[in-house]
Structure 1
Amino acid sequence: MEKHDAKPPVILWFRSDLRLHDHAGVAAALASGQPVLPVYIWDENTATRPLGAASKWWLHRSLAALGSDLRGRGSRLIIERGNAQIILAGLAQEFKARTIICSHTFDPETEVHDRHLSEALADIGAELHRHNTTLLTLPNSLTTQAGQPFRVFTPFYKALQASGICDVRLNSAPVTGEWSTPDRWPQGLALEALGLEPKPTPSGKDWAAGFDGFKPGEAGARGRLRSFLKNHLKTYAEDRDRPDLDLTSHLSPHLRFGEISPQRILFETAKAVEADQELTVGADKFRAELAWREFSYGLLAQQPRLDRVNFKRDFDSFEWRDDDAGFGAWCRGETGYPMVDAGMRELWQTGYMHNRVRMVAASFLVKHLLIDWRRGEQWFWDCLLDADPANNPASWQWVAGCGADAAPYFRIFNPITQAEKFDPKGQYRARYIPGYAQDDMRLAHMKKSRDPAEKVDKSHHIPDYTQPIVDHALARERALATYKRRSDDMYRHGDEE
């Protein structure tokens, strides 16, 4: 009876926005002057696709970090599992809450669900207030001069810069409000009850042991940003494609789960440049990478089934090969091409892969093996800690040539020359391929020779290493011929990077 006489709370529903700072929803809840009831609901039935195994690992730790941050403020995160609409309506009725605050997820299926949720809550006298806490701007809010959504990145980025959206000024004043959690709040579930932690392999091995190089949570995200700006931004533009140097920010999983805002990243980057003008070039390139994420969410809004449907529908008749053996070798990192294999092993061992290597590995699957991009995208979705519903499929479609602003069909990454260019001393390959000789000339013959037998002999420089499963030159010619057959409008000549 006491709970019905008490001041009704504002329900703060966390989703893909697992932080407390630079968060419009948190600020609105605290500014309401009402108690704040923080809740997370594990509801796999409302998203376009369920989380992959690696993402679940991250989510578990991110929720633990958020719960710890809330406890430090005299509150706690209430975890529930089931139908979000039923749970939220039940909480609203039990505690007479009239406001439920949450963030946009920009997941197409969830957006539809939110419309139904808003209607259901209205029927019991409650309102759903959504905030944009994960992007710089709403998808496709910027349009071309013809009023159409952007499908080419460069003009999109120019429009984003011209809009002033990137000129972020954050309010440094602390947000205050009533965080304390009354005893009457529901107990909720233990985090472990969600079953997000990966199960050991049949042999008892913890396959996620290598993920510990990351620190999920808002504090981890802020620390990662500070480290990147201090140590790597200066040479980011010239060396970001070097997996051996590993100068990327590693912020992508933190962004994926909303542990840091893109506004915070831009703000801190601008402060770093103000203090050191030599960081300007690196900062410009870094901002462009952040803008690609914004562009990808615009594509997802245009094609809600971006992970399953070709953005360019004329690719629907493309002649993909049914090659389970080749796909399995690719997944295991046993293609015989060290750059590809090192990347796939990095992915399996660490839940991450350097962006340059992602492009090389993806290109190998869809062009050397002519395997449907959707199979590769799904593998990445399951294995990547930063598996993003927009970035992941948009990037795969870019490589395959079926996406918006896609790579031209004749761009077929040569995994040998890519390794020589971006891993010149073989240090990245040696990191993931046992016995790899750190001599970049060792594979030079593969670039010059088309004799598979010669490649088999030379490959024995690496103990127990597999021979190439396909000849690069032959695979390239096969890919060019297949892509040309797709359309009469294709170019007559190809070139490789």
Structure 2
Amino acid sequence: MKKNINICWLRRDLRLNDHAALYHALKGELPVLLLFIFDRKILDDLNDKKDARVTFIYQQLQQMEKELQQKGSSLLIKYGTPEEVWPEIIETYAVKEVYTNHDYEPYALERDDSLSEFLRTETISFKTYKDQVIFEKDEITKADGKPYTVFTPYFRQWHKKLNDFYLKAYPVEKYLSNLFQTKPFAFPKLSSLGFEKSDQNFPSANFERKLAAYEERRDFPFDDATTHIGLHFRFGTVSIREAAAKAISAKADKWLSELAWRDFYMMILSHFPQITTQSFKPAYDNIRWINNEKDFEAWKNGKTGYPIVDAGMNQLNQTGYMHNRVRMIVGSFLTKHLLIDWRWGEAYFAEKLLDYEMASNVGGWQWACGCGNDAAPYFRVFNPELQAKKFDPENKYIYKWAPEYKHPQHTQPIVEHTFARDRILKVFKEALNS
């Protein structure tokens, strides 16, 4: 006879504490089985079979399985598409309710709509909750109910509304006795998913020790004064509520505003889903990009002849991370110096960044290009050499990640700055006046 259970489906929330969906599931009447699906629709698009993000997820699931076994439970891990997996599960168990947390990316919305419809036909409730942001969608709006498209007034309201109610942790630990009791399920090998273990080092989830340095030195890439917490937010191994509460406690105002930027971009994606493929400002889709493949390869491989650009790209390629100030510099360089479509750069970052989040990445690239909702104006063209002098005056970051620049026979610039600036201003003006 099938066992009556509820399911908590884990996706971007790989933790057992302060977890909205898990909390609500455990407070229900039936035992809760935790499920994770290695979704082939996502994995099949990854070209690197040593993709470090897959290893990170795998290791987090191993840790969760240890914790669950101590509670007499286990994590059910499936490999396949959701359309394949869910019918199998309801063949095995008498599922009454499925709990999960909101995801705002286009594929996730489509997947969840489809699952909700399928579960409805099986008379199974599908309940979803806000978990990966402080404020979502319509929680921060203008007086007329329309979404903000400029960050500063959005942040003003975001900060004003922020209080203990929104930062309160979900006390999951009080209800863990309601986990489904079972012998351990088989834990798949990475190779069975078509992947190999990455040797990448992952940043610590202990971000508090960096908060003071962040306030003072966040723009200086060699100082490593940033928290590297993006990966943990991406996969929900750290609670966003806990992070915001600690930032407030530490009076880390600048860092707190970065959490607001993250909410802002998630909100923008929710209201304007077309931005994943189109410029927020439609006129910018008239730009006549050069899209020179050779220049793009030089940019990707850190061979542009601009030291701070090449250092940033080398850091990205070797570690899956790039300092935020440098992300702005390399993004501006690709779009404005090389006249290469921002979507090319966004796709490359999606492939390489450990902390890749669609909303923030698309937002950042459109900002750098000038075509976004709250973007740098098109006529602001970062001078990479001046940026390096200001934020890496002793070349420490450059020499660490692009040591060839210690020698005079280094790569020559693939484009001259003044020429590139004049060209981009002319091309952008033509596009915006057409």
TM-score w.r.t. length of structure 1: 0.81
Cα separation, partners in 2 of 1:462 and 1:79, compared to 1, 3 Å: farther
Partner Cα separation in structure 1 for residue 20 and residue 172 of structure 2: 13
Residue 412 (structure 2) aligns with: 467
Shift, 1:255, TM fit:
0.3
Following the alignment from structure 1 to structure 2, what is the Cα–Cα distance between the partners of residues 302 and 406? 17
What one-letter code is carried by the residue in structure 1 that aligns with 2:393?
Answer: P
- 1:377 alignment counterpart: 346
- AA aligned opposite 1:372: D
Give per-residue Cα distances to partners, 1:108-148, cap 9 Å, x unaligned: 23213212211211221211111111111222332112221
Amino acid at match of 2:14: L
Verify the 8 A CA contact 2:301 2:314 in the aligned structure 1. Answer: yes
The answer to whether the 8 A contact 1:80-1:188 is kept is no
Map of 1:495 onto structure 2: none
Computing the radius of gyration from Cα coordinates, the structure with the larger value is 1
2:143 is the counterpart of 1:174: no
1:186 shift after superposition: 5.9
The 1:163–1:394 alpha-carbon spacing in structure 2 relative to 1, beyond 3 Å, is: same
The corresponding residue for 1:155 is: 153
Alpha-carbon distance in 1 for matches of 2:71, 2:194: 27
Q: CA deviation at 1:242?
A: 0.4
For 2:309 and 2:242, how far apart are their aligned partners in 1? 34
Corresponding position of 1:227: 209
Give, in whole Å, the separation in 1 of the partners of 2:305 and 2:24.
55
Q: Deviations over 1:6-60 (max 9, x none)?
A: 5x1211111111111110111122222532211111224389x869844334333
What SS class does the counterpart of residue 169 from structure 2 fall into? coil
Q: 1:37 aligns with which of 33, 36, 44?
A: 33
Aligned length: 430
The 2-side partners of 1:421 and 1:375 are apart by 28
* Equivalent-residue separation in structure 2 for 1:337 and 1:101 (angstroms): 50
Q: CA, structure 1 residues 178+192, in 2 after alignment: closer, same or farther (shift >3 Å)?
A: farther
The 1:173/1:378 distance shift into structure 2, 3 A limit, reads: closer
Match of 2:360 among 391, 394, 397: 391
CA distance in 1, matches of 2:52, 2:348: 11
Give how far 1:172 is off: 6.1
User: In structure 2, what is the Cα distance between the partners aligned to 1:327 and 1:334?
Assistant: 10
Distance change >3 Å, CA 148–CA 127, structure 1 → 2: same
Task: Provide the rounded CA distance (Å) in 1 between the counterparts of 2:377 and 2:370.
Answer: 6
Correspondence for 2:11? 15
Normalised TM-score (structure 2): 0.92
Given that 2:309 and 2:326 are in contact with CA atoms closer than 8 Å, whether structure 1 keeps it comes out as yes
Describe the shift of the 1:51–1:25 C-alpha distance in structure 2 as closer, same or farther (beyond 3 A).
Answer: farther
RMSD, matched Cα = 2.4
Q: Separation in 1 of the partners of 2:415 and 2:29?
A: 65
Unpaired runs of 5+ in structure 2? Answer: none
CA-CA distance at 1:262 after TM superposition: 1.3
- CA distance, structure 2, for counterparts of residue 226 and residue 130 of structure 1: 30
Equivalent position of 2:390 in the other structure: 421
CA contact 2:142–2:148 (8 Å) conserved in 1: yes
Q: Which moved more, 1:166-175 or 1:409-418?
A: 166-175
What's the offset of the Cα at 1:400?
0.7
Amino acid at match of 1:68: K
Give the structure 1 partner of residue 329 of structure 2.
360
Name the CA distance, whole Å, in 2 between partners of 1:173 and 1:37: 14
> Does 2:20 align with 1:75?
no
For the residues of structure 1 that align with 2:156 and 2:266, how far apart are their CA atoms? 17
Determine if contact 1:366/1:373 at 8 Å carries over to the other structure: yes
1:145 pairs with 2:127: no
Q: Partner residue of 2:423?
A: 478
- Name the aligned partner's letter for residue 181 of structure 1: Q
| 2:229 alignment counterpart | 251
Candidates 384, 402, 407, aligned match of 1:433: 402
Q: 1:276 — aligned with what?
A: none
SS in 2 for 1:174: helix
Equivalent residue for 1:492? none
- Please give the secondary structure, in 2, of the residue aligned with 1:407: coil
Mapped contact 1:170–1:267 kept (Cα < 8 A) = no
Which residue identity lines up with residue 474 of structure 1 in the other structure? F
CA contact 2:23–2:172 (8 Å) conserved in 1: no
1:61-460 maps to which residues of 2 (within 5 A)? Answer: 61-164=59-162, 168-170=167-169, 174-176=173-175, 177-179=177-179, 181-183=181-183, 187=186, 189-197=188-196, 209=199, 211-212=200-201, 214-215=202-203, 220-221=204-205, 224-228=206-210, 233-271=211-249, 273=250, 280=251, 283-437=252-406
Q: What runs of 5+ residues in structure 1 fail to find an aligned partner?
A: 199-207, 274-279, 438-460, 490-497
Encode CA deviations 1:302-361: one digit per residue, 9 max, x unaligned. Answer: 232433211111112111003111100000001111100000000000000000000001
Alignment partners' CA distance in 1, 2:318 and 2:70: 33
Q: Distance in 2 between matches of 1:141 and 1:476?
A: 40
Instruction: Return the letter of the residue paired with 2:5.
Output: P
Between 233-242 and 370-379, the greater mean CA deviation after superposition? 233-242
Once the two structures are TM-superposed, the CA of residue 155 in structure 1 deviates from its matched residue by 0.8
For the residues of structure 2 that align with 1:54 and 1:403, how far apart are their CA atoms?
30
Structure-2 separation of matches of 1:308 and 1:44: 23
Measure how far apart 1:235 and its partner are: 3.6
Contact 2:190 2:196 in 1 (8 A): no
> What is the CA-CA distance between 1:435 and the residue it aligns to?
4.5
Q: What are the Cα deviations for residues 79-106 of structure 1, in whole angstroms up to 9, with x where unaligned?
A: 1122314422432342212011111111
Secondary structure at 2:173's aligned position in 1? Answer: coil
Contact 1:79/1:190, CA 8 A, preserved across alignment = no
Supply the distance in 2 between the matched residues of 1:95 and 1:188 (Cα, whole angstroms). Answer: 19
Q: What is the distance in 1 between the residues matched to 2:413 and 2:236?
A: 40
